[in-house]
Structure 1
Amino acid sequence: MRIYRCESIGFAAAVCIVLGFAAPLPSQPESEQQTSAVGERYRQRHLSANQKSIEAFFNRQLPPGWKFSADEKALTLRRLAPVYLLAVAREDYLTQSKPVLLARSKKEGTSRECRINFRVERHDDAAIVRQRLRLYQNIRAGIDEAGTRLNIKRECADYSLEECAKVKGPKGEAAAEFLKTRQILTQKLEPAPVYRIGTLYLYPLKNQCVTAALDWYFVNADYPESISIFPVEAREEIQIILRDLEQLRL
């Protein structure tokens, strides 16, 4: 219909037709775009209030290059590009640029998909949630207390804990004792309801794509303290995500 009218008007209208056909993407014809929009409106109507809250929060807060999938049982945050894991000496950060470190990690390190997973539970009984959270907080407090008693932050300021434990003398002995105490306590740490959206409680799972300093469970088998995540921007994105999640903390 449009082609016929433009041909009858003349050359200027024919130019308009050319421009009009250039607008839709070949992989996204106009009919598919309309169907997709209708399907999305249908999907939104059938979401629960909790699911709408989750989508609204993460659509707003996730850094570019991250996606999420969620329902009332699980939540996954995923970085589209992979990360690379490599043990890097601290002085290398002072002498090597970000591109050099990234190139090293791609060549010498291990490629890994970066995901942060949560178990999602709905609870109308707040007492159950408080009990689980209290146990989690008590164990974390015990680990912090051991670190304060042994003065770990000052004694091992220039080392990872594993490196510090190998140093001869009181410093190494303190680090070794702390590691042993932490291992005993972290074995008791079960995923706890740290965050909440609506009536849904988010339980961060263990061994997530997070840096050691920000880990909920202190010990991370997949991303240990001695390993760095590259590119550096990926670590910054993870920091942003966990900082924004503080808005949801119980």
Structure 2
Amino acid sequence: MKAYSDHCEFIQTSFALSDDPDTRISMKTLLWEKAVEEAKDKPLVLLDGDTLVTGDVSRYFEERFDIGFTVKDEQVPNNSGVILVKTPKNSRLFFQKWREQTIALLRDPERYDESIRLCGGIDQMAFVNIIGFKRETGRYNVTYGNIQLVVQTFPCSVLNQTRSVPVVPEAVIYHYKGGWRRILTDGGLFTRKRPKKDSFEMYLLYMKTFLSAVNKIVVQQKNFDIRNMGVFLPFYITSDGRGTFAGYTRYVIFYRLNKFLIKLSRRIFGKKKSISSH
């Protein structure tokens, strides 16, 4: 990342984060509290690591708010993968409270399970508890001492697209959540929840962006090996991130045949090993 982002400043941290996926994701409130403290008066866009920014986010800061978060019309109504912070200096106490309530939920097994079920994560549950979230409300007033914060909603479809959908100009941040990971990094097939028809454009957008970044790194570091990135590139994806439905169909045949041969090999050699051991 440092080789690619020659205009970015990286801040060293030493937080001991959990190995449990749900807990680890929710403990990002530690990092974001730190980011708000470091920002002073500079506006922030706090992003999960599996998001992709494709457009200008700055125009959303023209609206009057202190903290912005994204909502959607689904069972889990909010997603904390994108948070806008227009006034970091005034918002520090909010992020401190958010972190404290997240940890409190983490330490309460019953409320922890409820948080995962209702909000998809303990940090998201803590957030909705702090602001008193209601689906029909778009702006919230949260008061700490003599500071009143305006917390505003933005649509996930624009600032935090968590669904598998065709790529559109209005969406400026795409969020490749958990169900994407096997497809993006392991070269896995599309699934019922991530169907090819709906997901293909988002997949190509990711690959095009990824390979563009890799090509820039290669120019700077001649000995760079793309395999070190831990991303498998299917043969139907070209060097510039393009692909076709027809190419994917051939890949499906190859992929399933390869899986079958591996399974068959394990059965054959496993059986021989079992016989020889007697």
Q: What is the TM-score of this pair, normalised by structure 2?
A: 0.20
More helix by share: 1
Larger radius of gyration: 1
